[in-house]
Amino acid sequence: MIRHPLPLPLLALALAAPAAGQDLSTLDTEAIMALRPSSTALAEAGRRYNAEAPIPPQCYTRIEGRWNPCYVCHQDNADATRPNFIQDGALQAEYAFTEAAMTNHWRNLFIDRSAEVAAISDAEILDWIDDDNYSDLAARLTATGFTGWIPDLAGYENAAEAFDADGLARDGSWWVALNYKPQPSTFWPTNGSTDDVQIRLPPAFRSTTDGRESRDVYFANLALLEMAFQDLDRVSLPAVDEAAIGVDLDGDGALSLTREMRRREAYLGAAAGHPVMRMIYPQGTEFIHAVRYVGLDGAAIVPARRMKELRYMVKTRALTLPQIASRYGNEIQEKIDENLPRYIDLGDKGMDNGMGWTLLAWIEDATGRLRRQTNEELFFCRGCHTSVGANIDQTWAFPRKVAGAAGWGYIDLHSMTDAPNIGEDMGEIATYLTRVGGGDEFRSNAEMRARWFRPDGTLDQAALAGKTVYELITPSRQRALRLNKAYRVIVAEQSFIFGRDATVTPAENVHAQIDAATAPTLPPADRYHHDIRLTWR
């Protein structure tokens, strides 16, 4: 790990919040940068800079009584059996923050990096993003005696090459890649990152009743899990031999090769004693999530080899629906009382999110090697994977996988059209652009506005018609290079606790301070119900 010693006077300055009402956008870059030590320096000093780190930068967007990017995360759920009871739809209407969160601590949003970006050549950044910073991580962790999860997916630095046509890892680790639609808009490549997600169920779910590992059992159980999240009675899946399982999966009265699965009340094989629970993962379910640079293969946008972050989640505790409701109830009361969010640090194991999951993550050090995230950097992840109303059992990607067999495989934006969310008539991307008034929460993506909006600011539906998801949300080569360079500057600074968004120029549509004048923000007509699941046609 690169060490960044910091004099105590500067550390004290870094921890000082801006004066009430101070607009950071009025400060020059040098003044703002003086407020930011490195993430590791702050961690080594035993201090936390942002007590409300789970509130992401996007939550400080200027809504202006009209635009609503908040609906994709904050929802009131009327479904009493859906395991999310936070009921935070009101956050579409107001900035309901604690006093500590009234100041926008994400100071990287207000920095002009134009000069630093211009100083990085295209050749330099292309070499950087094509470098492998993953394959040595497991050995480095083992050498240090690390006792937490050690990355065990071989060849993952080469992205899609690590998986077969059905998404199953080629190395025998039983990770399965998901072909899913990226959540608007942070993980749209046009806003600076590509990503991929893999799932792994516990050994019993990939074994026959006599303990033999079985691809057939595994994909049958994965299909049952998909049906539990999508409320389906049947679903397609990669070819499965029913005779190897001893169960008629498609209901045709014969044990044969099938590509269809019907709903069942319990999982199969060695997991036959586990009931299928609606929208709840079995205990021991794991996810890995690689956040990557925006890769370039000629003119094509692809996932880069270099990872910005490697994230891991494991479900360590199975909770009943009443237990989940109780924990959400506690969370709601904590928010009403304006208590700061709390956490349990499990050391090498990661951080307990309070909802049955443990989170662990790595991020680049100043040289580009993946290092363990500091406590505060990891604390940031709780914002999306704990108490927001839109996620399902604390996750986002799996509920958004392409339906059936086509959804088992490495993420492929070319294979998707703009499917609408459940309950919506218009495609999700078109809906988002309309409600937000731009191609990102900050309405700062000029390229998206030029592509998909008319000069009067209205959405050009004709321009969107017939486009794949790839065509809709990937940047030009020039924009991809600029965003990669901007993030490279943040890596060199190690200033992640001040923001990870790849911005080149200061964000204009963001509040530096929240006060009475900024809330409420939206009238009822501009608040929306939203289901992160999709209607695949």
Q: Please give the average per-residue pLDDT across 494-515, as a whole number.
A: 94
Q: What are the percentages of helix, strand and coil residues in the chain, rounded to 5?
A: 35, 15, 50
- CB within 8 A of 245, min separation 6: which ones? 208, 214, 216, 217, 220, 268, 269
Give yes or no for residue 465 having a pLDDT over 60.
Answer: yes
What the block records as the tokens of 483 is: 């965003």
Return d(Cα 448, Cα 111) in angstroms, integer.
Answer: 22
Residues counted in the chain: 537
Which of the two residues, 306 and 517, has the higher pLDDT score? 306
pLDDT on residue 301? 98
Return d(Cα 106, Cα 109) in angstroms, integer.
Answer: 6
Backbone angles phi, psi at 5, to 5 degrees: -60, 145
CA proximity to 194, closest of 387, 5, 411: 411
Give yes or no for residue 287 having a pLDDT over 60.
Answer: yes
pLDDT digit string (tens) for 32-46? 666 676 777 777 767
**Burial label, 149 (beta-carbon count in 10 A; 0-12, 13-18, 19+):** middle
Give yes or no for residue 192 having a pLDDT over 90.
Answer: yes
Q: Please give the average per-residue pLDDT across 354-374, as a whole number.
A: 96
User: Given pLDDT bands bounded at 50, 70 and 90, which one contains residue 75?
Assistant: very high
Asked if 278 and 269 count as a contact pair (C-beta separation under 8 A), the reply is: no
User: Given pLDDT bands bounded at 50, 70 and 90, which one contains residue 537?
Assistant: confident
- CB within 8 A of 520, min separation 6: which ones? 93, 94
Give yes or no for residue 125 having a pLDDT over 80.
Answer: yes
How confident is the prediction for the chain on average, in pLDDT? 92
User: Given pLDDT bands bounded at 50, 70 and 90, which one contains residue 29?
Assistant: low
pLDDT on residue 9? 33
pLDDT on residue 10? 34
